[in-house]
Amino acid sequence: MIRILYIVSTLKKSGPTNQLSYIIKYLDRDEFEPIVLTLSPELSSDSMKSYFTDSLDVRVESIALSRIKGLFFANSYIKKFIKVNNVALVHSQGIRADALMSRISDVKSISTLRNYPFYDYPMKFGKLKGSMMAKGHLKAIKKKPTSTIACAKTIADEFKQNVLNLNYIQNGVDTQKFFPLDDKQKKDLRTKLKIDNDKKVFISVGSLIARKDMATLIEGFKKYNDQNSLLLIAGDGVEKEDLQNISNESIKFLGNISNVVEYLQLSDCFISASLAEGLPNTVLEAMACGLPTVLSEIPSHLELYEGGEGNFFKIKEINQLSKLLNKVFKNHKSQKNISTTLVNKNFSAKAMSNKYQTLYKEKINDKI
């Protein structure tokens, strides 16, 4: 049995945690035994820990150190944990986990990069702090570049400007959870969640922060101005009040919800105006649910439709976005088929997990 240790900051509900859950869900348990080690305590209201322990049957342990204490004690704790538990390989994700593992050389390891730090961190943490964090993460990556895997071709390409040639394994989506409904099921779900069955329903899912550019999305929907349409926005964040102030009665804010899949399944089209992404979970989930998409023309969105037909608007182009919302219903059925076909062919969670399992064996057997 090959024991794999996954090190993350926490199991907070997020895209990266979802991707980790997919890798583990489809592991061959006759060959691999997963253990998850978190660096910080979990916040129970925003944690997927119970899903990992109860549904995925994974042992989850925590160092439970503050960030300051972690600087001094985390390395020795991890080294001891690896030895005591006879770990064959460590798989880390996130800046803290990657930085710690860059200083541990007596175990085989890989890491997964789920963003391009020099763009994402300054937008999330501020220019000064974000730039310093990005430089720190790059330093850690450069210590083990052949063991670093990007979650998208787009991200691997961005790192070329840092003179790094990274391999990539594209994110996946769990098609056992995210799938289309037939017309009756969709109607019943709308009735259950009190959504008008006669409406054209658009949906967007994501944090209400600058990087997601929900303001452009809202303005584009308002300009579209179809009185028989509804826009659902799932998520929360610092821009919520400002966004509500520019919205109208056809826009409904759902907040953070646990049943995102149901709202995707009852909708007719997914929209994202994001300025930057890794390989976006929410778009993959929407596509898996059979939704046509209208997406900002950023590299990670274009990557999803490579070889296929998508609806793209230039970032912050409100007029172009509104025109695409009109267009999407002219060939709605064929665009639904494009979404599900692309997911099943290129982005299933099981296929992604299988690629990681192949990588684990190659790394352990010193083939890479």
> What pTM, to 2 d.p., does this model score?
0.89
Q: Which class in CATH covers the domain with range 2-172+349-364? A: alpha beta
Res 363: pLDDT = 94
Q: What is the pLDDT of residues 236-260, one digit of tens each?
A: 999 999 999 999 999 999 999 989 9
Please, where in the chain does CATH 3.40.50.2000 lie? 2-172+349-364, 183-346
**Percent of the chain beyond pLDDT 90?**
81
Q: State the distance between the two ends of the chain, measured CA to CA, in whole angstroms.
A: 21
Q: What is the pLDDT of residues 187-222, one digit of tens each?
A: 999 999 999 999 999 999 999 999 999 999 999 999
Instruction: Find all residues with CB under 8 Å of 253, minimum gap 6, and list them.
Output: 233, 240, 243, 244, 247
Give me 366's structure tokens.
């010193």
Res 309: pLDDT = 76
In this predicted structure, the answer to whether residue 134 has a pLDDT above a threshold of 80 is yes
The letter for the amino acid at 22 is Y
Question: Of the given ranges (53-62, 80-89, 299-308), which has the lowest mean pLDDT?
Answer: 299-308
- At residue 182, φ and ψ (nearest 5 deg) are -80, 175
Using DSSP, state whether 188 is helix, strand or coil. Answer: helix
Answer whether 216's CB lies under 8 Å from 273's CB.
yes
What homologous superfamily does CATH list for 183-346? Answer: Glycogen Phosphorylase B; (3.40.50.2000)
